[in-house]
Structure 1
Amino acid sequence: MLNLICKRLMNTLSTERIAAIDLGSNSFHIVVAEINPETQSFRVLDRLRETVRLGTFHEPQNELTVSDMKRGFETLQRFKKLAEGHYVTEIFASATSAVRESVNGKEWLQKIRDELGIDAHVISGIEEARLIYLGVLSATELVGRKIGIIDIGGGSTELIVADEQFIYHLSSTKAGALRLTEKDLQDESDLLQKIEFMENHIEGLILTKIQQIEEAGKFDFLVGTSGTVRTIANIDYRMHNFVDSENTPNLNHYKVSYLSLCTIIEKMIATPKEKRADAFDISKNRAEIILAGAIILKTVMRNLNAQEIFYCDRALREGLIVDKLLQKGIIKDRLQYQQTIRERSVFELANKYKFMKEHAVHVRNLSSKIFDQIKGILHNYGGKEKELLQAAAILHDIGSLVTHNDHHKHSYYLIRHSGLLGFNDEEVELIANIARYHRQSNPKDNHPNFQNLPREHKKLVKELSSILRIAEGLDKGHKCAIKDIDISPNLAKKKLKCKMISNIKGYDCALEKWSALGKSKEFKKEFGVDIDFVLQKTGKSLVSK
């Protein structure tokens, strides 16, 4: 927790300060920013980068080692002290490729949350790409132009095509500078042959992405972010201006041609690995992986037919700040489309699997009414948990496209592996589990999808899925027959009365009542109350909750 002095001091400031951390495979980055709600903007107060090297991509077990986790934890301790020195009210972090692919990454992030109080979560590859887009957009004026973005990280490369309002392509490929160095360039004997193999491998990985980008339409210019492109820009500037690293200015929006990139790669190949740091005036850590990063950049640019690339000094970490501003409702105009990314992503996934929209929306609305009317009585969840329930309600039946039998299990799989935008990995797991248990078996510890959840998440899944079960039962006939509900408690008798009003004149809602009653067993188990369902005569009206 942030210390009391920081909180009291923060109360005297007119603007809020927050810290965002990018837990990359090669390096960790922190940005401390001051938010100005009036101008819908932020100002960077401080930033820090440390090479951590979480990526162990050459190891088949995909496990963070004890030394990896210790090194990363100690880095985050320093980052936290930096953030507290600026009196931030919130510190949050997103983990990318190395943690995403490791078998023990989530356990390590839980330790970070518990012991450091940093809200750290894994994000999917395409969510990483979306956040990179937001970071670039915060420093780039598009005014009607379409932009292509490439971000080469330690473990993956993200490709984006977008304009100021809409995203046309997002993708993440397992081709990062650290990953390919460990895979192919630990030993640089037969270097030209290895590079040819690497280029063919990269082309194979990005082939479908390039085709999708071509289908999305041409972009007007290409931007590159993060360490590889920054280093290439610095090397190119020094080559043309005959200066050293101490006299190199900020190169935001600096242009590097494809021909210059090829020249730099040729010089790197001609320079022994152990001498590249001095030869190109770059850090030893970056020198170890820069050739692989440059090969990725060259291969992507060639396949995109891009003759030049502009460096942008904002990326994922700044995108996390922008996304937080969107969540807080501070950015309202310029990025209005992105402000609704979570809801739109849910509906896009539902449409992809041809969901029954009227039924799904009705179940969502009924779930929300139950959630709201028992809040403060049976639970104290807030808006975040309600949003997860609503997303699960919209998506609960999408597995029916595979088969009706066990469609709840298929729904779990489709949600879990869909890469819902705007949600972190933990939230996607919760949505998938809530949808999974809308029918048939209740959550059990021998279910693989449920058994590894933290205790508090198991409780959340049990309680929210029990609400979803009842809401789904109230639309058993898919007629949207229940217009409204009104829940009144009698806790002394451990009972709730749920009055239903029909949308259909003369319809007795017997099917819906029977189904909801049958599905309320799990609700009773979790909340300790029975529910009676009674039909309200249509002559009377109920106030919507």
Structure 2
Amino acid sequence: MSQAALRSFTAPKESPRTVAVIDIGATSIRMAIAEIRSGESGSGGEVRTLETLLQSVELGREVFQNRRLSRKNIEKVASVLIRYKQTLREYGVTSPEDVCVVATTAVREAANRVAFTDRIFIATGFHVVPIDEAEVSRITYMGVMPHILGSSELGEGKSIVVEVGGGNTEMLIIRGGNVLHSQSVRLGSLRLLNTLEGVRVSTARRRTILESHIRRMLAQLIDSIQTDATMHLIGLGGEMRFAANQLLGDWDTDSLAKISTKRLERLTEEILGLEPDAIVRRYDASFVEAETLGPSLLAYTLLAKHYELEHLFVCDTNLRDGLLHDMAAGKQLDDDFRNQIVRSAISLGRKFDFDETHARNVAELARKLFEQLADEHQLDSRNEVILFVAALLHEIGLIVNVRSNHKHALYLIRNSELFGLSQGDLMMIGLVARYHRRASPQPSHEGYSTLNQSKRVIVSKLAAILRLAIALDDTRSGRIRDVQCKRGTKEFLIKAIGVDDVSLEQVAMRGSSGLFRDTFGLPVLLRAGK
């Protein structure tokens, strides 16, 4: 081959992967189909949306009233998803790994959600995963942060990121790129409408009742926000996108929209003054959208007026975009998001007056052990985060009682909120912390008995590593900062780098390494290292 031919020759580019995300919400089922192109070295790459579909449903209305999904609506969802599946076939999407189907508040709160997910699987082959508030917060954070960091105006002060959904209102408070607080309250447009069910009142009286309920529920959010800096409000969701398009007309959805609070208030009053049929005709909306538009916009307006904001921002980020980027990135936690989780855990520890220096030392030692024992435990990076947070919080039960503090730690962690961590994550973290001392995991133990085998094994592995890390800082001096691990034929050898005398830690290690021996099959030997 000539040199010219060699110069012109390029390796064929990898074909894009076509994937889809389906979001079963309280008022609609939405599907986004996209192409994912791998980035350099296989990293998460570009996501290009090919098509979006929407079908209105009324799941939220009946669940928020009677806690169950009717057979009629379950079959309607199945029918919609069967049609979506046919569309996916036309795009060549047939592998279950290329389709992510999630459900939010309405399905999550339904007493018969298992029957619902089973029926959908039988009808379509789709595995529906109900996602909780923590997952929604994580995706919201990942979507909105580039806009906040890229804005000189939002770089100063606090940003209150709010999405009023059909069932819940989700809120993040962000300052300097850090999440100060995350919260979910049971305030949603459909729940608000349920308060008016069967009530025959004038339009003006209807608006007054809605405002009263919204103010009472918003108080839960407002109490969590300290007004010690300039405040900014960023609204998410379909209703705010509607408002931005109506008020601006030429909004570039790739950037934040900035709208006047007074203009939003006038639009809200106009919407609230119309019957749903009139909203459908005037704005080409579905009937479900027409019903929820007014209550949702009123909530945003009242929040902006409470902080006396002259304007607020609208961001086009949504759950489906976030899930598509997750698929492109392989669902790995990036460093920034991991750091947000750790900051949240440290804040919780301070709330319970933990020994922060010891907790940080143990967490760092646990992380280093996790990394060096990767060939043994075969766990991914998300489990490292679970171990790290458990190490930070393993002693918070001391605030309740020294005796059984490990059990108190489990209770406190399970019943706390940590940004970015689901209820399942909190259960795992709580159990790892619970087993930092005393008895090994037993089938009869609360929480542990509910786990499947794979998660039980993970808890045992992480708890075993945590016990080693605690033993390494038994003196609470932080003098052991670095370790080297090596597997021998008869034991695991841990060298404490830069420490000449480890006699005290050796005593602690002999008493704490039993779970590691039972889990990994070899005892642990600790020695001083160079």
Change (3 A) 1:464 1:310: closer
What residue number does 2:487 align with? 488
Structure 1 residue aligned with 2:503: 508
* Aligned counterpart, 1:175: 187
CA distance in 2, matches of 1:279, 1:409: 59
Q: CA deviation at 1:283?
A: 0.9
Mapped partners of 2:182, 2:501: distance in 1: 51
CA contact (8 A) 2:27 2:56 kept: yes
Q: Which amino acid aligns with 1:224?
A: G
Change beyond 3 A, Cα 1:357–1:77: farther
Greater shift in the superposed pair: 385-394 or 477-486: 477-486
Find out whether 1:386 has 2:384 as its counterpart. yes
**Which aligned pairs between 1:430-445 and structure 2 lie closer than 5 A?**
430-445=428-443
- Check if 1:298 corresponds to 2:301: yes
- The alignment partner of 2:170 has SS state of strand
In the other structure, the counterpart of 1:286 is 289
Change (3 A) 1:65 1:86: same
Partner in structure 2 of residue 26 of structure 1: 27
Against the structure 1 CA distance between its residues 442 and 68, is the aligned structure 2 distance closer, same or farther, given a 3 Å change threshold? Answer: farther
TM-score by length of 2: 0.77
Partner secondary structure for residue 60 of structure 2:
coil
Change (3 A) 1:40 1:181: same
On the 8 A contact 2:193/2:292 being kept in 1, the answer is yes
Distance 2:298 2:18 in 1: 39
Q: How do 1:101-500 residues align onto structure 2 when only pairs under 5 Å count?
A: 101-102=109-110, 120=129, 122-124=131-133, 128-129=136-137, 131-138=139-146, 141-146=150-155, 147-162=159-174, 165-167=177-179, 170-185=182-197, 187-189=199-201, 192-210=204-222, 212-213=224-225, 215-219=227-231, 222-233=233-244, 252=253, 257-321=260-324, 337-338=336-337, 340-368=339-367, 370-372=369-371, 374-377=373-376, 379-480=377-478, 484=483, 486-490=485-489, 495-500=490-495
Structure 1 residues 306, 363: closer, same or farther in 2, change over 3 A? closer
Q: 1:51 to 1:430 in 2, by over 3 A?
A: farther
Deviation of residue 155 (structure 1)?
1.1
CA separation in 1, counterparts of 2:27 and 2:283? 20
- Give, as a single letter, the amino acid of the residue that structure 2 aligns with 1:131: I
Matched, 1:51 2:43: no
Matched-pair contact (CA < 8 Å) for 1:135–1:320: no
From the superposition, tell whether residues 173 and 374 of structure 1 become closer, same or farther in structure 2 (CA, over 3 Å).
closer
Deviation at 1:152, TM superposition (A): 1.7
Give the match's secondary structure for 2:227. helix
Query: Any unmatched runs of 5+ in structure 1?
Result: 1-10, 238-247
Structure 2 vs 1, CA of residues 267 and 368 (structure 1 numbering), >3 Å: closer, same or farther? Answer: closer
1:384, 1:317 → 2: CA distance?
Answer: 21
> 2 CA distance for matches of 1:498 and 1:68?
60
Q: Could you tell me how far 1:475 is from its partner in structure 2?
A: 3.5
Q: CA deviation at 1:284?
A: 1.5
Deviation digits for residues 93-115 of structure 1 (CA, Å, limit 9, x no counterpart):
66543345456658977998999
Q: CA, structure 1 residues 275+54, in 2 after alignment: closer, same or farther (shift >3 Å)? A: same
Deviations 1:459-516 (A, max 9, x none): 32233223323433444443446563544343xxxx534455486544523xx44443
- Structure 1 pair 82/303, CA: closer, same or farther in 2 (3 Å)? farther
109-118 vs 31-40, which moves further: 109-118
Q: State whether residues 178 and 340 of structure 2, in contact with CA within 8 Å, keep that contact through their aligned partners in structure 1.
A: no
SS at match of 2:523: strand
Match of 2:140, as an amino acid?
I
User: Number of matched residues?
Assistant: 504
What is the distance in 1 between the residues matched to 2:173 and 2:494? Answer: 50
1:517 aligns with 2:510: yes
Please, which runs of 5 or more residues in structure 2 have no aligned partner? 1-11
